[in-house]
Structure 1
Amino acid sequence: MLNHVRGLVVRARQLAPERGGAVALAALAVLGLGGLGWLGREISASNPSDASPSLLELLEQVGAPRSGSSAPAATPSLNARPAPTPPAHDRWVSPLKRQCTADPALSRRLEAKVAALPLEMERLTIDPTNYGSRFRSDAFGNPVDPTPRVVVLHETVYGMQSAVQTFLTPHPRDEDQVSYHLMIGENGQVVQALDPAYRAFGAGNSAFNGQWVMTNPDVGGSVNNFALHLSLETPLDGEDADAEHSGYSNAQYDALAVVLTDWMRRFGIAPQNITTHRYVDLGGERADPRSFRWSELQTRLAALGMLCKSG
Structure 2
Amino acid sequence: MTASPRPLWFALAAGAMVALGGVGWLARELSAEPSGGRKRPSLLQLLEEVNQPPAAPEPGRRAAPGPPRQASWQSPLRSSCTITNPAQRTRLQALVSEVQTSPARVQIHPTNYGERFIRDAYGNPIDPTPQLVVLHETVYGIGSAINTFLTPHPRDQDQVSYHSLIGGDGSVVQVLDPAKRAFGAGNSAFNGLWVVTNAKASGSVNNFALHVSLETPLDGEDQNPTHSGYSAAQYDALAALLAGWMQRYGIPAEHITTHRAVDLGGERADPRSFQWSALQQRLQNLGMLCSGRSDQG
**TM-score of the superposed pair, with normalisation by structure 1:** 0.74
Aligned to 2:62: 81
CA contact (8 A) 2:100 2:241 kept: no
Aligned to 1:171: 153
Aligned to 1:270: 252
Q: Which of 103, 112, 117 is the matching residue for 1:121?
A: 103
Unaligned runs of at least 5 residues, structure 2: 1-56
Aligned to 1:257: 239
Q: 1:78 to 1:227 in 2, by over 3 A?
A: closer
Aligned to 2:36: none
Q: Distance in 1 between matches of 2:114 and 2:61?
A: 23
Q: 1:120 to 1:78 in 2, by over 3 A?
A: closer
Where 2:235 maps in the other structure, the secondary structure is helix
1:213 and 2:195 equivalent?
yes
CA RMSD of aligned residues (A): 1.3
1:190 and 2:167 equivalent?
no
Q: Distance in 2 between matches of 1:231 and 1:165?
A: 14
Q: Distance in 1 between matches of 2:142 and 2:281?
A: 26
Q: 1:78 to 1:242 in 2, by over 3 A?
A: closer
Aligned to 1:231: 213
Aligned-partner residue type, residue 66 of structure 2 = T
The CA deviation at 1:99 is: 1.1
Aligned to 2:262: 280
Aligned to 2:142: 160
Q: Which of 229, 245, 248 is the matching residue for 1:247?
A: 229
How high is the sequence identity, in percent, across the aligned residues?
65
Aligned to 1:92: 73
The CA deviation at 1:79 is: 7.0
1:181 and 2:163 equivalent?
yes
Q: Distance in 2 between matches of 1:263 and 1:253?
A: 15
Q: Distance in 2 between matches of 1:141 and 1:208?
A: 21
The CA deviation at 1:78 is: 4.4
Aligned-partner residue type, residue 110 of structure 2 = P
Q: How many residue pairs were aligned?
A: 236
1:301 and 2:291 equivalent?
no
Where 1:151 maps in the other structure, the secondary structure is strand
Runs of 4+ in 1 over 2 A off after TM superposition: 76-80
Where 1:214 maps in the other structure, the secondary structure is coil
Q: Distance in 1 between matches of 2:104 and 2:60?
A: 44
CA contact (8 A) 1:134 1:198 kept: yes
Unaligned runs of at least 5 residues, structure 1: 1-75
Aligned-partner residue type, residue 82 of structure 1 = A
Q: Distance in 2 between matches of 1:157 and 1:89?
A: 25
CA contact (8 A) 1:98 1:310 kept: no
CA contact (8 A) 2:59 2:122 kept: no
CA contact (8 A) 2:59 2:125 kept: no
Q: 1:245 to 1:178 in 2, by over 3 A?
A: same
By relative contact order (CA 8 Å, sep 6+), the higher-ranking structure is 1
